[in-house]
Amino acid sequence: MTGDAATLAFADLQPEDIVSTLADLGFDCDGRFLALNSYENRVYQIGIEDERPVVAKFYRPGRWSDESIQEEHDFSIALADQDIPVVPPFEIDGATLKHSGPYRLAVFPCRGGRAPDLDNYDMQAQLGRLIARIHLEGETSSFQHRPRVDIESYGVESMDFLLDNEFIPEDNCDAYEGVAEMVLDGVEACFERAGNTQEIRLHGDFHPGNVLVDQDRLHIVDLDDCRHGPAIQDLWMFLSGDRFEQMPQLEALLEGYQSFRRFDPRELHLIEALRSLRIMHYAAWLARRWEDPAFKVAFPWFDSPRYWDDHVLALREQVALMQEPPLELRDF
């Protein structure tokens, strides 16, 4: 099937298509159906007769190659083999990535839970231990088909896409271009201060929404953005508040992390740089997906002047934050 046809089928994915596809894969669906909070892919919880529900992920056409999706699956399976509580896909007839008509999909066990309490330092330490164990596996080999967390793809390409495709209101264009250039200069300076840090396989998009807490057990979900990068990429999104609030959070994370793997303190220079890149990348991600009707419904504020005023202000704040000294840790 052509890429255009697959994209149209993905955009028009209906409940009957989903249930029919699962039935073709051998799942006896019972009619229960719940769309989960995902925009990049289409993800659904499907009830199964006399069994626990499953989660079906339909991959967006054109985003990842089959080989890169398989690397995601293989990484999650390798982590699960180390008793790390990730949620790998089912193997169905010898394969985890399935093709059904115009769709590419994988089926996962359903895991429930709540978001982690980031004010609980014991929970932060537990997260740190899990992240370190992921990184121990992550450094054993490299991806061949997945990208890096880097300035070019997250920063430069994001800025160029927004400017070239005229997503930014005319009144904000000059301000955005000027501050974006300053941000990129600041990011480069942070990476230079950090020096030649190690890049490993990462979760890549490790934030509280991708951790489920069920009683005292954690489950790590959604490795869709796994890629190469510095270890701090999987840690910094669990920090919130000002630097005085972040310091004990980071110490708790690293107390757990360093019980399994050494942390390179030079990577502390990268926290605000990575935050800046994520802010730029997020705006470009919304712009790249803006023709998907689901995005217009979920993010109606994106093309408003107020959004771009706030976006430029957030980038200005990041320029200032990247000029401050990195977080300090008493242990270091």
Identify the domain boundary among 109, 133, 150. 109
Question: Using one digit for the tens of pLDDT, what is the confidence trace for 24-82?
Answer: 999 999 989 899 988 899 999 999 999 999 999 999 999 999 999 999 999 999 999 99
148 shares a domain with 247: yes
The mean predicted confidence, pLDDT, of the chain is 94
135 shares a domain with 8: no
Residue 2: pLDDT band with limits 50, 70, 90: low
134 shares a domain with 77: no
Quote the percentage of the chain above a pLDDT of 70: 98
CA 271 to CA 232: how far, in whole Å?
Answer: 7
pLDDT at 332: 45
Residue 201 maps to a domain: yes
142 shares a domain with 85: no
Q: Which residues form the domain of 307?
A: 121-322
Contact 23, 92 (CB under 8 A): no
pTM equals 0.94
55 shares a domain with 30: yes
CA 248 to CA 254: how far, in whole Å?
Answer: 10
CA 225 to CA 222: how far, in whole Å?
Answer: 8
Instruction: Please give the residue that has the higher pLDDT: either 173 or 113.
Output: 173
Q: What DSSP letter does each residue of 111-139 carry, written as one string?
A: ---B---TT-HHHHHHHHHHHHHHHHHHT
Residue 126: Cβ within 10 Å count: 20
155 shares a domain with 64: no
Identify the domain boundary among 109, 143, 178. 109
For residue 330 the two structure tokens come to 């008493």
Domain count, the chain: 2
Quote the percentage of the chain above a pLDDT of 90: 86
Contact residues for 320 (Cβ-Cβ < 8 A; gap 6+) = none
Question: Using one digit for the tens of pLDDT, what is the confidence trace for 106-136?
Answer: 999 998 889 888 889 999 999 999 999 999 9
User: For the residues 184-199, what does the mean pLDDT come to?
Assistant: 97
209 shares a domain with 151: yes
Residue 190 maps to a domain: yes
Residue 327 maps to a domain: no
Residue 114 maps to a domain: no
Residue 29 maps to a domain: yes
Catalytic residues: 205, 222
SS3 call for 328: coil
175 shares a domain with 73: no
Residue 331: pLDDT band with limits 50, 70, 90: low
